[in-house]
Structure 1
Amino acid sequence: MSELYLAVDAGNTKTWAGLTTAGGELVGLARGGVGDIYAPAGADAAKDVVVRLVEEALRAADATASDVRHAAFRLAGVDWPEDEQFWIAALAPLLGGTTFTVKNDGFALIRCGRLDGQGISVVLGTGAALAGRGPLKEWALSWWIQHPLGGAGLVTEALRAVYVAELGLGEPTRLAEVLPPLFGASTPEAMLEATTRRGTPVTHSALAAHAPSVLALADSDPVVADLVATQAARIVDYIVSLAGTCGLPGAGERVSVVLGGGLVREPSAPLFTRLRELTDDHALDIDLCHNKEPALLGALLDALAEGGADPTEAVRSRLVQALTGTVADGDARGELAGARVATAPTRDGAGA
Structure 2
Amino acid sequence: MKDAFLAVDAGNTKTWAGVTTADGELLGLARGGVGDIYAPAGPEAAKSVVLGLVGDVLDSAGLQSSDIRHAAFRLAGVDWPVDGEFWEAALPFGSFSVKNDGFALIRCGRLDGQGISVVLGTGAALAGRGPVKEWALSWWLQHPLGGAGLVSEALRAVYLAELGLGESTKLGAVLPPLFGASTPEEMLETTTRRGNTVSFASLAAHAPSVLALIDDDPVVAGLVETQTERLADYIETLARTCGLTDPVTVVVGGGLVREPEAPLFTALRRTCSRRELVLDLQHTHDPALLGALLDAIAEGGADPTEIARTRLTQKLK
TM-score interval, normalised by the smaller of the two chains: over 0.9
The match for 1:84 is 84
The match for 1:337 is none
Partner deviation per Cα, 1:211-263 (whole Å, 9 max, x = no partner) = 000000001111101111110111001100111110111xxx41000101111
**How much has 1:280 moved relative to structure 2?**
2.3
Structure 2 distance, partners of 1:293, 1:171, is 38
1:81 alignment partner AA: P
1:102 alignment partner AA: V
The match for 1:285 is 278
Match of 2:301 among 303, 308, 314: 308
1:78 alignment partner AA: V
The match for 2:197 is 201
Report whether the alignment pairs 1:273 with 2:266: yes
**How much has 1:142 moved relative to structure 2?**
2.0
The match for 1:346 is none
* TM-align CA RMSD: 0.8
**How much has 1:281 moved relative to structure 2?**
3.2
Report whether the alignment pairs 1:295 with 2:288: yes
Structure 1 distance, partners of 2:223, 2:161, is 14
Structure 2 distance, partners of 1:142, 1:293, is 20
Report whether the alignment pairs 1:153 with 2:149: yes
Paired residues of 1:256 and 1:289 also in contact (CA < 8 A):
yes
Structure 2 distance, partners of 1:40, 1:196, is 16
Structure 2 distance, partners of 1:301, 1:189, is 48
Structure 2 distance, partners of 1:305, 1:280, is 33
The aligned runs of 1:36-75 (5 Å cut-off) are 36-75=36-75
The aligned runs of 1:99-178 (5 Å cut-off) are 99-178=95-174
**How much has 1:14 moved relative to structure 2?**
0.8
**How much has 1:283 moved relative to structure 2?**
3.2
Structure 2 distance, partners of 1:284, 1:243, is 11
Structure 1 distance, partners of 2:127, 2:65, is 29
Report whether the alignment pairs 1:233 with 2:226: no
Structure 2 distance, partners of 1:206, 1:22, is 38
**How much has 1:309 moved relative to structure 2?**
1.0
Partner deviation per Cα, 1:283-333 (whole Å, 9 max, x = no partner) = 331111001010000000000000011011111101101111xxxxxxxxx
The match for 1:26 is 26
Structure 2 distance, partners of 1:51, 1:233, is 38
Structure 1 distance, partners of 2:30, 2:310, is 20
Structure 2 distance, partners of 1:139, 1:36, is 19
**How much has 1:143 moved relative to structure 2?**
1.9
**How much has 1:282 moved relative to structure 2?**
2.9
| Between 186-195 and 282-291, the greater mean CA deviation after superposition | 282-291
Instruction: Name structure 2 gaps, 5 residues minimum.
Output: none
Question: TM-score, length-normalised on structure 1?
Answer: 0.89
Report whether the alignment pairs 1:244 with 2:240: yes
**How much has 1:2 moved relative to structure 2?**
1.6
| Between 63-72 and 282-291, the greater mean CA deviation after superposition | 282-291
1:74 alignment partner AA: R
Structure 2 distance, partners of 1:145, 1:157, is 15
Query: Where do 4+ consecutive residues of structure 1 move more than 4 Å?
Result: none
SS in 1 for 2:277: coil
SS in 1 for 2:99: strand
Report whether the alignment pairs 1:262 with 2:258: no
Structure 1 distance, partners of 2:96, 2:254, is 25
Would you say how many aligned residue pairs link Structure 1 and Structure 2?
317
The match for 1:179 is 175
**How much has 1:5 moved relative to structure 2?**
0.4
1:191 alignment partner AA: M
